[in-house]
């Protein structure tokens, strides 16, 4: 019997919804692996798969006779909901959350902690193995079998000319105002710099424009305003919140790219410092800056944040205040485009873009880089 264990769990869906799977690992206090669980789930959403991973991890911990459990997941949605800080509104999540709570009640204590995706690699690997099996991708030395996915005929009565069905989640994407780093055109990622005087004026102009838009205040309540946790975005978001009468929440998935050792350098300085690497970085989204994160890593992080927000606020309008790369990434998802879009799309400071994501997987980009409020 092991009295205290650590459960790390994850889940994913290739298509959201799409072929999905979960992974869970139970470890002792020293990090030794006590149990692993993984399973393909058919066609479900990311969040359903994440909850199923949590349930499997808690069940495995119970089988080991644990009395206290530390649950670590990179799903902020699941962690916040199971901690009681976020409401569980989605009907697909409610029964799964109840099942997880019933399992948790069998322990003396369960603590939930959000961790970065990189720290959840073991469970992530198990989940991907389960998804590989679900999609027919061959394991080592095994031939692939064709995936068997359900087919669905379109409902002609509800299909618009775009093919999208259902009520979309509408994301208003606002880039932060000017900082000293952006004024000097320096790589500005995780460095926590405030807005300049001009940046505060840009934020105020954006707030005035948004306050005049229809549908951002419903029955006296402002739409959710969700910001990157960095000061420049929180200051911009607060200007909008003051104008709308709302409040600002933060989400770690909306933070800017980690530029590592290039933080604070200009384009030319980074190219002079690491000419070969900088050239590779410009043409390959899997290449990270030295000590930083690649655009592929950012894409996965932002996609997970988007899925968590849609699960929490599906069918509503949200205002997201973020940075260049996360906003480009959300527009890229809306356009179903490749990573080269990141290098071909320009976003000005305090610009507004709009993208809608439909529950059937379709999307529509409505606006890109609008700065009319700054003129």
**Among 122, 176, 251, 278, the one annotated catalytic:** 176
Q: Is 36 tagged catalytic?
A: no
**Among 36, 39, 133, 256, the one annotated catalytic:** 256
Give long-range contacts, CB 8 A cutoff, 24+ apart: 101-104: 103/55, 103/58, 103/59, 103/62, 104/58, 104/69
21, 45 contact by CB (below 8 A): no
Q: What is the Cβ-side half-sphere exposure of residue 224, based on CA atoms within 13 angstroms?
A: 18
| Alpha-carbon span 38 to 9, nearest angstrom | 10
The two structure tokens encoding residue 328: 């480009």
Torsion angles phi and psi, residue 26, rounded to 5: -110, 130
Q: Is 251 tagged catalytic?
A: no
Strands in 68-73's sheet, in edge-to-edge order, are: 33-44, 18-27, 4-13, 68-73, 109-114
Three-state secondary structure readout of 27-73: ECCCCCEEEEEEEEEEEECHHHHHHHHHHHHHHHHHHCCCCEEEEEE
Q: Count of CB atoms within 10 A of residue 321's CB?
A: 32
Q: Which residue has the tokens 């485009």?
A: 337
156, 82 contact by CB (below 8 A): no
260, 291 contact by CB (below 8 A): yes
Catalytic residues: 176, 256
């Amino acid at each position: 019997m092991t009295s205290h264990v650590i459960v790390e769990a994850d889940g994913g869906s290739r298509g959201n919804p799409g072929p999905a799977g979960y992974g869970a690992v139970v470890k002792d206090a020293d990090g030794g692996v006590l149990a692993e669980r993984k399973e393909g789930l058919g066609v479900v959403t990311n969040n359903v798969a994440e909850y199923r991973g949590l349930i499997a991890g808690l069940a495995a911990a119970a089988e080991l006779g644990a009395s206290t459990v530390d649950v670590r997941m990179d799903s902020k949605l699941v962690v916040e909901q199971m901690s009681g800080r976020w409401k569980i509104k989605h009907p697909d999540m409610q029964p799964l959350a109840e099942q997880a709570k019933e399992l948790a009640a069998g322990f003396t204590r369960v603590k939930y902690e959000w961790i970065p995706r990189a720290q959840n690699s073991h469970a992530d690997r198990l989940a991907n193995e389960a998804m590989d099996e679900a999609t027919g991708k061959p394991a080592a030395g095994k031939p692939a079998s064709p995936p068997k996915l359900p087919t669905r005929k379109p409902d002609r009565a509800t299909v618009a000319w775009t093919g999208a069905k259902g009520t979309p989640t509408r994301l208003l994407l606002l880039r932060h105002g000017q900082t000293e780093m952006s004024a000097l055109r320096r790589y500005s990622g995780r460095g926590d710099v405030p807005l300049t005087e001009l940046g505060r004026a840009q934020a105020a102009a954006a707030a005035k424009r948004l306050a005049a838009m229809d549908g951002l205040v419903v029955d006296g309540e402002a739409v959710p305003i969700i910001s990157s946790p960095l000061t420049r975005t929180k200051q911009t978001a607060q200007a909008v919140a003051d104008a709308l009468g709302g409040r600002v929440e933060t989400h770690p998935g909306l933070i800017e790219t980690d530029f590592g050792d290039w933080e604070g350098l200009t384009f030319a300085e980074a190219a002079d410092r690491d000419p070969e690497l900088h050239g590779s970085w410009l043409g390959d989204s899997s290449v990270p800056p030295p000590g930083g994160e690649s655009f592929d890593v950012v894409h996965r992080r932002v996609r997970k944040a988007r899925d968590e927000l849609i699960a929490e606020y599906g069918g509503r309008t949200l205002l997201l205040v973020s940075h260049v790369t996360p906003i480009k990434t959300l527009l890229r998802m809306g356009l179903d485009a490749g990573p080269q879009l990141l290098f071909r799309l320009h976003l000005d400071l305090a610009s507004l873009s709009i993208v809608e994501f439909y529950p059937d997987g379709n999307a529509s980009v409505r606006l890109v880089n609008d700065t009319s409020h700054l003129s």
